[in-house]
A and B are shown apart, each in its own frame.
Chain A
Amino acid sequence: MRFVILALLTVINVVLQTTLLNHLSIGGVVLHLVLIQVIFVGIMNGSRFGGLFGVLAGLLLDLMAGRYIGLNGLSMAAIGFAAGLIEGRLYKDNLIVPLGSVLVGTLLFNGLAFLLGTFAGLRLTVVNFFMTLLIQTLYNTAAVPLLYGLFYRAADQGWLPKEEVGS
């Protein structure tokens, strides 16, 4: 059931990110809800689950776009995996942890996406990349205090998958 809720939440995030949040874009950059979710899932569930969830969430975005399939899948898998490395090492209930994770995670995600996009033949300008990197990192990080509490409580209540400490 928890996985179904997680899947539904992902779909909701994808829908919101592609619709409502477009109206709240800053300089054309939208809040990356799915990426934030991947990082949160990684923090809560560890590398293996984080990586797997990252692949699936990323592929969902890729399939929806219908082009450059794997760009989000690979990038988010890496971020979910990396975020999962925190699990069991740092206190998840401290806001600094998700703040730092999302900040670094967004930087890494965009860096990876840029490299993979370039590898796939996507023409990206460096200026555009740095602007996106900067705005999205700040935007995503600023949204963490609003979102992490909800996500953490949902996981704590057992609505979302959560790796138990020591398991």
Chain B
Amino acid sequence: MARTRFRSTLLVIGLGVAAGLGLLRITSGDRGDTTWAERSIQAILAPLQASVSFVTRETGSIGQAVVNYKQVQEENEKLLRENGDLQREKGLLRQYQLENLRLKELLQFKEEKQGNYQLLSARVIARDPNTWFHSLTLDRGSADGITKDMVVINNDGLIGHVTSVTSHSCQVLLIIDREGPVPGMLQTSREPGIVETKADGSGLLQMVHLRRDSAVQEGQLVLTSGLGTLYPKGLPVGYVVGIEPEPNGLTKRASLRTAVDFQRLEEVFIIQKVIHQEGD
């Protein structure tokens, strides 16, 4: 009985193997089309596989994000550093661009004034460290031929005069300082007056001792008059922004807005020699 069973088992195995080998041989290589059995299995398993793949992909990306957190953090820090560098570089380029524009204007001014003055360009290297004085330090000194009392201007107008000189720098007292009054005159009426800083801390200048009937109007330009020994004639000092009588009742004064923006001084000119005074 057991022998018969063993024989039948062997027979089944043999037939199974033969069928399997035959099937294997038939289905090897490129086949024209798949059978319904294969299509059915694939159709049943495909949605399951798609679902698991989706979950795997999603959780994988989350897992990867966790694994890569340190890497991402380092990369982020690196990018932030790079961004900072680029921002600095961008700021620097913008600065150079503006400087280029300023220098162009100054060059044009220098060319225009070369018949009047012998000019030497200078850079502001320091500003006054305290509030008592209004002065600047320039990068030109006696080695460049700078001497005390030389006048400093830019393309907008008068800035001040040199008060002390070292070999490679000089100090400039600005016209907005109380100790630097400037002999001025109204451009249109040529009426003279003394221009000095206003004591009220407004940052404005005032032109004092104007005649009571003087034809002074707002918006008028005030130039240096050339009186005195310091400032040559014809340099813009400021614009009239207000007129008021003086306490003595005989004269009046005009408030002036400076022609130069003293908050943004970077490049200036030092008048080394006056060749021909403006307006002469």
Contacts and interface: CB of A to CB of B under 8 A. Distances in A.
B28 A68 contact: yes
B41 A16 contact: no
B91 interface: no
B28 A121 contact: yes
Contacts of B25: 119-121
B23 interface: yes
B16 A69 contact: no
A66 B34 contact: yes
Contact of B31 (A67, A77, A119): A67
A67 B45 contact: no
Interface stretch (B52-60, B116-124, B218-226): B52-60
B45 A64 contact: yes
A31 to B, nearest CB: 14
B52 A19 contact: yes
Nearest to B29: A121
B49 A70 contact: no
Contacts of B9: 48
Given A18-B49, A19-B53, A77-B16, A67 B28 contact: yes
Contact of B56 (A19, A62, A64, A122): A19
Secondary structure of the A side of the interface? Answer: helix
A71 interface: yes
Interface string A109-147: 000000010011110000000000000000000000000
A51 B38 CA distance: 21
B52 A74 contact: no
Contacts of B23: 69-70, 73
Nearest to B30: A67
Interface residues of A, number: 29
B48 interface: yes
A20 B56 contact: yes
Contacts of A121: 25, 28-29
A89 interface: no
Contact of A68 (B19, B24, B52, B56): B24
Contact of A74 (B24, B26, B60): B24
Contact of A23 (B20, B45, B49, B56): B56
A55 B41 CA distance: 15
A15 to B, nearest CB: 5
A79 interface: no
B17 interface: yes
A20 B49 CA distance: 9
Contacts of A85: none
A62 B34 CA distance: 12
B215 interface: no
A60 interface: yes
A120 B25 CA distance: 5
B56 A70 contact: no
- 8 closest A-B pairs by beta carbon, nearest first, are A70-B24, A120-B28, A70-B20, A19-B52, A69-B27, A63-B41, A74-B20, A70-B23
